[in-house]
Each structure stands twice: as structure tokens, then as C-alpha cells.
Structure 1
Amino acid sequence: MALGTDTGGADAGTEVPALSGAPLLGSLHDLKSDSLGTYLRAQQRHGDVVRVSAGPPGMRADLYCVFSPEGVQQVLASQAANFRKDNAFYQEVRESFGNGLLTSQDEDYLRQRRLVQPLFTRRRVDGYAGAVAAETASVVTAWEEALDGIVDVSDEMTHLALRAVTRILFGTDVEATADVVARCFPVITDYVLRRGYSPANIPRNWPTPGNRRAAAAMEELYGVCDRIIGQRRRAGADASGEDLLTLLAAARSSDDGEFDDGEFDDGELRDQVLIFLLAGHETTATSLCFALHLLARHPEQQDRAREEITRVLGGRPPQASDLERLPYLSQVVKEAMRLYPAAPVIGRKAVAATRIGGHAVPAGADVILAPWVTHRRPEHWPDPDRFDPDRFTPEAEAGRPRYAWFPFGGGPRACIGQHFSMLESVIALAMILRAYSFEAVDAEIPVSAGITLRAQGPARCRVRRLETPWAVSG
């Protein structure tokens, strides 16, 4: 029996129900205009496993969408070896952002994980709290000059998360890199999306305007990374920095002799840096943006979170150890991640035929997981669109399937930075809520699924400075 198959093979399962679409293009238009709504509709109409077809005859793609927590667990964990990152989308990410920890597979991935894992222990990550607090303090101070007291928390949290991850990666080189990343990333990510979801693409080296814009952005982004990597290499043993790049450059296998992974060469270092920039700022920015906007729309929960912050912190700056002392604020972050998961759609490709939820999934099938949908299953999340941080008390979490909530993925490829994401989010929110109260200007924020979840409009809030002498402490 092939690795990853259920007993009996795919032919023992029932046919996967299909979402109806247009005769010529299937669900192509629906997926392009509102992919998240299309997946949600597919689950509501047909259940746990649904086939969605898109594209013209001869170029049509069949997407096998898996929505149940049990099916998600099968794909990400119990049969993870049968579901690989071999689809067209991941290939486009690879070609633009390198073969880093997010995109690599097999021995490349295992080697990278062994080299990087020691840099993401809880103790090491807790050491980044100071950098997050420093960047948050700058944002809190800058808001005192906000025109009419209104800020767009989508733009502001993207700025904050980018500067925080840049400081952690590059140390003192924040100014040299943050502007380049902010300018180049949108060009490259839009390029990846267009190509990743297109049924056919022209070669990247053809001199079209889109290819040339993307190539110029990649050249500029790669250039600044390569320059800083070169500086670290030249510093060699004299380098005393604790920024992540310095630690990555010095990363070696464990001394137990089990593995001899060597170290990252300059190209591999750049790949890791690019992936950390991508995954480390866009995802956290999404969580912070929607956490603030949700609290701005729900004053009772906002007041409860602020009361906890005031009681625990008083006038001192937050520290890593405060993460466990701020349980309600952590619940706010988790509930924001439930309603607005930074990775709303996850793709894999089945190696061998298998069954999921009793349905036959053929070898080579494109498999789609959608946290956006699974996080809204009413049997696990009553009144699923309601914002309720108390869904994440320890007792409530214990009563749900493991993969009813999976904003960080799961299984052997679970996000290595999930503790950092929670730490950054809680520290930033604690400092911001201690300094300002929030009232939503935009009642709803339209979103779309890019590489990460994207706000398609402003997320404006009216902020009011709280009269406390320690509001900008940190």
C-alpha cells in the first residue's frame, strides 16, 4: 500500500461532491472574486470534502477542499507525508522568496529545521520582547500626532510588525532594510499571486512589464539582504550581535554526532531571511490589525482587556514572562486569529490516492485546507461570526478537536514562529491598549486571500489618548 493511503485505497471511497459552477469556466470567476466566500459556500452546501473545479476545458483544475478538523489532521499530521508542497503556488513562492523553511521539502527541510530550531526555543524567542516593545513605543508616541485622532490600524500594524521583525533579524540595520522591504514586498507578492493562481504562465525571463517590475523588486530586495549578510560574514568571529541573522550565520548542527548539517551558505542564509521577513511580518500584522479592530467594535471586551493589562503591568513595560499573566489578552489574539486567520487557505498535493472523510481523493490531487472555513464550523464554534474571546479559556479549548483551530498549521510542519507571533501580539496590544482607547470608524473590513489574509479597505479607528503617566512606558 502506498504511503499515506487509507486501507482499501481511493476506489473504496465515495465520490467527492462537487460545487456547481459555470458551464465553461466552472468556479473560476467565483474563486477570483471571492475565494473565501466560495469555500465557505462549498462547505455549507456539501459538507466536509468538496471538489471545486475552475478553468476552461483542457486547463481545468480540480481542487479537493477539506473542511473538517479530522480531515485537516489527516492532511497536516497523521498522513503528512502524503500531502506535499508541490503545487504551482508554492513553486512561485519558491522562485520569488527562495527555498527557505516555509517552502523547502524532504532533506532540505529537515536540515534547515535542525539548524534553525535552536534559535526559536522559548528562551531565545523571549529575548526578542525588548525589540518588540521598543518598536511599539515608537508607534504609540507617533499616534499623538494622528490627524483628527484617526489611524488606519491595517497600515499601522503592518509598519509595526515589519520594523519589529527587521530589528530582530538585522539588529541596527533596521532603517536600511525596512523601507526596501515595504517597497518591494507588495510588488513581489502580487506577482506570485497572479502566477500562482493562473492556469498558464509565460516564462519569467520574458521582458514583459510585469516580469520586469518583479525582477527589479527582487534584485533590490536580494541586494540589501546580500549586503548585510556579507557584512556579517566579514565580521566573522568578531561579530557579537544577538540579531537573528548573526545567529543564523553561526548556526551549526547539534554536537551529538547524529547529524552533520554544516552551516548555511550565503544563498541559503538569504532564503531564510526572505522567508522570515515574509512570514514574520505579514502574519503578525494581520493578527494585530484585526485584534485591534475587533476590540474597537466591542467596547466591553476592550475594557476587560485593558483592566487586565492595568492590573498586571501597572506602569512597567511588558516582558516575555507576562504572556502567561495576561490570559484574557491572549484569548483576544486567538479569537482574532480564528475569525481572521493570517493564512486563510493552505494548499497541498496528494502523492498517493487516499480517502478523506470516506471520500476518494486521487493521486496528484490539489488539496485545499481553509482555516477561514474550519474556524467557522458551528458545531465547534456556536454563532461563529460573533467575537467572543471566552471561546479560548482552557476549559473551552479542551472540549474541541485539535484541528478545529489551526492558524499556525500543524503536524511536522507547524509554524516554527508561533510562540514569537503570540509574544509579539500580546506585548504590542498591551502597550497600545494601555495608551489609547479605540472606536471603530469602519464597521467592516473587506478581506481577500493572498499569500496571507489581506484587508481590501481601510481599517480606521478613532483613538483617544488615555490620561495615564505610564501610557507610553517601554
Structure 2
Amino acid sequence: MRRGQPRDRSREPRRPQNVSEKKGSGTSRTARRESGIAYSRSLRFWLDPANVAVRLQQAGPVLRTRTGPAVAFQMNDPALLRKVGSSEDVFQFWGTDPCLEDVAGRGITGAEGRAHRERRAVMRPALAAPRLKGLGTSVWSRTRHLVDGIPSDRPVDVRYEMGRLAAGLVVETVLNSTLSPETLSGLARSRSAVSAGMIWKYTLSPWPWLPAPRQRAFRRATALLDRASREVYDNHRPDPDGGDVVSLLKRASGDDRRAVEHDLYALLLAGIETTTGTLAWACYELGRHPEHQDALRTEADAAFGAAPSSEGVRAELLPRAAGFITEVTRVHGIPFLVRRTRDATCLGGQSLPARAVVTLPLGALRRDPARYARPDDFDPLRWSPDAQPPLSPGPVLAYGLGPRYCPGAAAADIMGPVALAGLVHARTFRMARPGRKVRVSLELTPTPKGLSMVVAPRTPRTEGAVPPQGPGPAADSGAGPGPGPQTGPGVGSCPVSGSGSASAPAPASDSDER
């Protein structure tokens, strides 16, 4: 074609439509622009729910996918998804991969088979429901104390502040210990470096000669986590009967300090990672939905008043907060879990080679329109006890599945709603720059990067004023067993095993089940 000659576009091949732009996808580019979330290029396919959900409906039971040089096999059939997640003898859990031995390979996360089962059994009595009766009060008290440290006179980085809060809650209420303010702040700042670094190490493991990005920051962050583990060990306050988590670990290891520190390292890594994501996304939705924020505050006031009794803080008194946390998990939880085949195998008519990456697309299942009415809407009232038909949070798979099901699920079910109630009871959350997009980048747990909010002291309610009510219960259909939404006490937030965090391109990881 000569320069200056008009192009005949009628003869050019049409640009392929993005799956989320196709007719019937239910989500247009305009809708995605209005969502207020900008996904990084490497995560766009996995985290953009329109892309994932539409492609899921168009694919067979097993879909071969490619991101750059990485190939993965996506399990679209719920039965196959559960089979892969539950068969650790055939499909290797990501945390036991040799490439992560120096990070996730420590303690319970890196153990396999009998060693893993025995380590879980050691902690089980301390994390059983009968022993957690006082956990709600402890979480409430520590949340109020830690929230006092959040500045109220200027916008704050919510991801950092919730990271500091998450670290404090996990250490003080689950591990019966303390960390210095400097260590808490350091863990909050370095969480992203650890999370992204682990993803890169796992993703690039087939090409070990390639340098992973930000290696120096990753090494500094893991060294800080190691120091925090030692600090937790040194500052541990055992329960009088010696039945707390750290006491049980010490006793089972024969007081082998290094072995206990390895387990503490794994618990800190998992708990801080997932709880930070849960609370940060909860704050994001509080800012977007002030009517829900008012309703949550009213619930907390009615349940606990100004000063709850030592036995008065119980998660079952907070059904709206629990529903809010579950909806945060459904909408913002990890996009998928990851396994590797140990040997060549066959699934859904597809042959999978040895060491193949297998992904379990929880994000797409959580937005299945056959199960959830208006699946792209954030509607915590769909989890209301009065919703018709009622929904069970079980299919959300908040705590993973199979041998890696989170041992701290009962603690997480208490921590998430109570911490949320403590936040709204003390503060009012407003977007510092309404309309500005937050970014989501390549990390174990998707978190809102650049989320700036004003966290002001709560505004006293006018006498007799009635708080605004949210939309009515969603008429969700298809409620029943089967895989669905995603993570734990929040966006995948098991404070012990990290149930609910893994995001990456094809080879990723699921810190959502430690």
C-alpha cells in the first residue's frame, strides 16, 4: 500500500473480541471501567471475573491455558476440582515444591504426608471450637487497641494499616505473644515483597537461570519474617494449662527451638497474608457502600454496646458482619489454587505430563450465575439468614479443601466478623479520592494497591435516627453443595494456615491452604 493511500479496512481481519466483550457475557468494557479496580496485565485473565467466567462456560472439563512460556491445565468440572484438591498423592501442593523450600518449605506448610498430618494434629486441640470461647473478646479488644494507632487526620494507606492490624491480631490472639511496634510496621510494609517474591519463584521454577524480580527486597522481607518468628517465640505467654498453639508446638518438638520457629514462620506468613487481604478489601467495600457500614455499626452497637463483657463478644451475634466477610471473600478472594502433577496422569480426557501445573479456578466458580443472582454485584445480604433461598458459605471453599484444609478455620470464622465489627464500631471509612481506581498486582493474595482512605472517628448518630438499609436479600439460585466462592474469614483469610491466597499467571500458588 502506498504512503498516503486510504486503508481498505473491509479486507482486514477482524480483531478478536475479548471473551468478556462477547455478546451474552453480561459484562462490558464500560462495566469493568466502572468497577474501580485495575488489574495488572499478568493477572488480567485470572482476576477479571468477566474473562474467567465467560471462558469457563465455553470450555470443557479441562482447559489447557498458556501465560507466556507457562502452560497450565484448568479444572472446570467441580468434581475434577475436588479430586485434584483432595489427592495429594497424585497432585503436589504448591508449598512443598523444592523451589520454595527456603520460604514456604518451613514447618507445617512444607511438610507432606504423615509429617504434615502429625503437625496438624499437634495444633488441633488449641484451635478447636470449645477452646475458642474467649477469642472473640480478645480479637475485639486488640482490634480497638490497634485501631487507635491509625491516623485520623489524614488519608492512610489501607493496605499497610490492615497489614499492621492483621499481624497484631494473629500474633496476639492466636499465638499468645507480642511483637514490637517496629516489627509490626515492618511486617506490614514487607508483606507485598514476600508475597510477590514467592509467586515469581514458583512461576519461574522451570527456568532457574532467570532472575526473579526484586530479589533483594524479597530476601530482606523474609529475613524480617524470620526475626519476627524468633520474637514471637521469645515473647510467648503460655496459657496456664499449656494448651495454646505455641505451647503445644514446643512440647511436640521436644523444645527444639528451631523446629518451633519454622512452624511460627509458616503461621505468620499464612495468617498475615490472608487476613491483610480480607480486611483491606472489607475497608474498600465499606467506603463504596456507606449504607452497609451504617448497618454494621448498628449491629455492633446492639450486640456489644460501649464495653462488652469478657464473655460477651461472640461471632454468632454478628450475622451481618459474617455475611459481609463472606461476600468480600466471594468477590475479592484468590482466583485459583494450584497443584502440580507428580507423575503423568489423565483427567477429563486430557493427558497431563509429570510436573504439569494444574489450576483450580475458584474465582470463576464464585461468580457462577447459576448459583448466585447478580454475581458481579457486591451484596452481603445474599448471605443473610433470611435470604430466600438461603445460601451456605461452604461452597465458597474459603479454607481450601482436602488434606490442606485450614486447621484454623474455626478461629478464622471468629476473627473476621469480630475484627470488622471492631473497625466500624470505632471508625468511619471514606474514600480519600472517590472514583480513583485501585490496582491489583501479582501476589499470593490479591490486595487493593493504592487504596487511600480517611479513617475518621465515628460520627455520633442523631438521637432516633434510623440508619440506611442496604438492598434486600438477593434471590440467589442454585444454592447447594458444590464449589463456589472463595476464601476464609475474609478474602481468604485463615489466620493459621492462610486458607485463601494464591494468585499468579499460570503457575501460581494458593496460600489459601497452608
- Measured against the shorter chain, the TM-score band is 0.7 to 0.9
Q: For residues 406-417 of structure 1, what are the structure 2 equivalents within 5 Å?
A: 406-417=397-408
Which residue in the other structure is 1:8 paired with?
A: none
Please tell me whether residue 71 in structure 1 is matched to residue 71 in structure 2: no
Q: Which has the higher helix share?
A: 1
Query: What is the aligned counterpart of 1:201 among 201, 205, 208?
Result: 208
Letter in structure 1 aligned against 2:122: L
8 Å CA contact 1:335, 1:388 repeated in 2: yes
Which residue in the other structure is 1:454 paired with?
A: 447
Letter in structure 2 aligned against 1:75: V
Q: For residues 271-286 of structure 1, what are the structure 2 equivalents within 5 Å?
A: 271-286=262-277
Which residue in the other structure is 1:82 paired with?
A: 90
- Cα 1:295–1:272 change in 2 (3 A) is same
Which residue in the other structure is 1:4 paired with?
A: none
- Cα 1:367–1:397 change in 2 (3 A) is farther
Task: Name the CA distance, whole Å, in 2 between partners of 1:142 and 1:128.
Answer: 22
Q: For residues 380-395 of structure 1, what are the structure 2 equivalents within 5 Å?
A: 380-393=371-384
Q: Displacement, 1:102?
A: 2.7
What does the per-residue CA deviation read over 1:369-392, in whole Å, with 9 as the maximum and x for residues that have no partner? 132222111111221111111322
Please tell me whether residue 54 in structure 1 is matched to residue 67 in structure 2: yes
Which residue in the other structure is 1:16 paired with?
A: none
8 Å CA contact 2:304, 2:312 repeated in 1: no
Task: Name the CA distance, whole Å, in 2 between partners of 1:402 and 1:80.
Answer: 24
Which residue in the other structure is 1:156 paired with?
A: 161
Query: What is the aligned counterpart of 1:362 among 333, 352, 367?
Result: 352
8 Å CA contact 1:408, 1:415 repeated in 2: yes
Task: Name the CA distance, whole Å, in 2 between partners of 1:402 and 1:172.
Answer: 32
Which residue in the other structure is 1:326 paired with?
A: 318
Q: Displacement, 1:283?
A: 0.8
Letter in structure 2 aligned against 1:317: P
Which residue in the other structure is 2:246 paired with?
A: 245
Structure 2, gaps ≥5 residues long: 1-17, 20-39, 462-514
What's the secondary structure of 1:381's corresponding residue?
coil
8 Å CA contact 1:92, 1:192 repeated in 2: no
Q: For residues 53-452 of structure 1, what are the structure 2 equivalents within 5 Å?
A: 53-55=66-68, 60-77=69-86, 79-85=87-93, 90-143=97-150, 145-148=151-154, 150-168=155-173, 169=175, 171-175=177-181, 177-182=183-188, 184-198=190-204, 199-202=206-209, 211=215, 213-226=217-230, 229=233, 244-250=245-251, 252=252, 263=254, 265-317=256-308, 322-341=314-333, 343-351=334-342, 356=347, 358-364=348-354, 365-393=356-384, 404-440=395-431, 441-443=433-435, 444-452=437-445
Task: Name the CA distance, whole Å, in 1 between partners of 2:383 and 2:307.
Answer: 27
What's the secondary structure of 1:453's corresponding residue?
coil
Which residue in the other structure is 2:469 paired with?
A: none
- Cα 1:395–1:46 change in 2 (3 A) is farther
Letter in structure 1 aligned against 2:288: R
Letter in structure 1 aligned against 2:64: R
- TM-score, with normalisation over the residues of structure 2? 0.70
Matched residue count = 417
Task: Name the CA distance, whole Å, in 1 between partners of 2:388 and 2:179.
Answer: 41
What's the secondary structure of 1:349's corresponding residue?
strand
Q: Displacement, 1:429?
A: 1.4
Letter in structure 2 aligned against 1:116: M
Structure 1, gaps ≥5 residues long: 1-18, 21-28, 253-261, 469-474
Task: Name the CA distance, whole Å, in 1 between partners of 2:385 and 2:342.
Answer: 37
Which residue in the other structure is 2:475 paired with?
A: none
Q: Displacement, 1:402?
A: 8.0
- Cα 1:48–1:271 change in 2 (3 A) is same
8 Å CA contact 1:335, 1:389 repeated in 2: yes
RMSD over aligned CA atoms reads 3.7
